Amino acid sequence: MTDAVLTSTLEPPARATGWRGIAADWSSDQRAFKNVSWGKAMMWIFLLSDTFIFSCFLLSYMTARMSTTVPWPNPSEVFALRIGDKEIPLILIAIMTFILISSSGTMAMAVNFGYRRDRVKTAALMFVTAAFGATFVGMQALEWTKLIMEGVRPWGNPWGAEQFGASFFMITGFHGTHVTIGVIFLLVIARKVLRGDFDVGRRGFFTSRTGHYEIVEITGLYWHFVDLVWVFIFALFYLW
Amino acid sequence: MTNVAVPLEGQQHSLHAHAHDALASGTTHAKGQQHPIKLYLVVWAWLFVLSTCSYLVDYFGFQGYLRWSLILLFMVLKAGLIVAVFMHMAWERLAFAYAILLPPLLVLVFVSIMVFESDYTHLLRAVFFAQTS
């Protein structure tokens, strides 16, 4: 503790930027990530590993689609929705995309209000984010129901290559699971924020440690990642 | 630990100029990522525009290389905006940004391997399992 007081009275040395900064940070003593807390670094590293998982799913989908001699079902028609008497291509997926982007927007603002220690606004925006996420999962359940009723199975479908169903259920199912976990994560943290845990230094019931508002940004990182994965799924699975 | 970290906050000022306005307007001195709300709203609007564009690619039924390049373009722009602004990667130190962003790029090597592999599989299927009726 005395060390910390001593250190904080000193002017911190200016850190190099650019390539010199990279070399200096990585070859320095103690830690390479100079102004990133362990919590944030670990979330990023977890997201990196999750990136590889989703990459493998999308890669196996690409391999299946490129190597089959049977025509691939046209997603534009498969995911079309009849509104009134007009068949609109991909409309449900487009709405889901806008919902997820909106949830990312509210999350980014929640992080901002969190660092201003405005706990009511932070919690409110996190609840809105969670509501958007729950809506997304609900619409996905609707989409799954529709496709299953039409006869799509992991081993076959009425329109073409059999691998379509397996790829669809695997990729969107795994993404939907991530959204669901994100909604739970958001609700847990929003409750803590609203209760003022990070203002009064209340200890977590599981870790017995005090938290701070940075957890809102870390939750946000996970949530934005879920949105990010959807960007790739939307482009590569639904639009391709 | 946190005391030590405080003076290190907000040292890279390349993109941080506007952050101080937000700091000044905040009720208390807040550390961590602080950017004006307007920035998030602008990015949000752009994400809406880009999503609409990629949806219109399908709606107008563009085909072939035009379709694929437009899809990839809008995808990369959206992903870049989310990572850079919403996830604050633009304001992190390069040592951290490269540690996180370079490994996923190596997946492209895996992609190219699997492109060759699936072309080969497709060839074998076309040659040996072609419909003969």
Q: Is the pLDDT of residue B29 over 80?
A: no
Q: Which of B27, B35, B43, B58 to mutate to probe the A interface, most A CBs <10 Å?
A: B58
Residues of B in contact with A98 (CB under 8 A): 48, 51
* Beta-bridge partners for A153: A156
Q: Which of B7, B87, B126 minimises the CB distance to A8?
A: B7
> In the prediction, which pLDDT does B112 show?
95
Residues of B in contact with A235 (CB under 8 A): 54, 71-72, 74-75
Q: Is the pLDDT of residue A31 over 80?
A: yes
Contact (CB<8Å) B118/A102: no
B79 touching A, CB under 8 A? Answer: yes
Q: Which of the four pLDDT bands, split at 50, 70 and 90, describes residue B15?
A: very low
> In the prediction, which pLDDT does B5 show?
41
Give CA–CA dist B109/B9, Å, rounded.
37
Contact (CB<8Å) A224/B82: yes
pLDDT in tens, B72-99: 999 999 999 999 999 999 999 899 999 9
> In the prediction, which pLDDT does A212 show?
87
Chain B's closest residue to A44, CA to CA, is B100
Give CA–CA dist A164/A73, Å, rounded.
7
A150 vs A85 pLDDT, higher one: A150
> In the prediction, which pLDDT does A98 show?
95
> In the prediction, which pLDDT does A68 show?
92
Q: Which helix (H) or strand (E) holds A27?
A: helix A18-27
Q: Which of A111, A125, A136 to mutate to probe the B interface, most B CBs <10 Å?
A: A111
Contact (CB<8Å) B71/A68: no
Are A161 and A68 a contacting pair, CB within 8 Å? yes
B91 touching A, CB under 8 A? Answer: no
Q: How many CB pairs under 8 A join A and B?
A: 202
Please say whether the dihedral angle defined by the alpha carbons of residues B2, B8, B14 and B20, taken in this order, is positive or negative. Answer: positive
Are A239 and B72 a contacting pair, CB within 8 Å? no
Percentage of chain A exceeding pLDDT 70: 95
The per-residue b/e assignment along A174-191, b for 16 or more CB within 10 angstroms, e otherwise, is ebbebbbebbebbbebbe
Chain A nearest CA to B21, separation (Å): 13
pLDDT in tens, A181-206: 999 999 999 999 999 888 888 888 88
pLDDT in tens, A89-136: 888 999 999 999 999 999 999 999 999 999 999 999 999 999 999 999
Contact (CB<8Å) A231/B79: yes
Average pLDDT, chain A: 90
> In the prediction, which pLDDT does A27 show?
86
Q: Which of A34, A81, A113, A226 to mutate to probe the B interface, most B CBs <10 Å?
A: A34
Nearest by Cα to A98 from A70, A65, A135, A126: A135
> In the prediction, which pLDDT does A77 show?
86
Average pLDDT, chain B: 79
Chain A nearest CA to B72, separation (Å): 7
Residues of A in contact with B15 (CB under 8 A): none
pLDDT in tens, A149-177: 999 999 989 998 999 999 999 999 999 99
Residues of B in contact with A70 (CB under 8 A): none
Contact (CB<8Å) B96/A68: no
Q: Is the pLDDT of residue A142 over 70?
A: yes
Q: Is the pLDDT of residue B35 over 90?
A: no
* Beta-bridge partners for A210: A203
The count of other CB atoms within 10 Å of the CB of residue B93 is 22
Q: Is the pLDDT of residue A11 over 70?
A: no
B122 touching A, CB under 8 A? Answer: yes
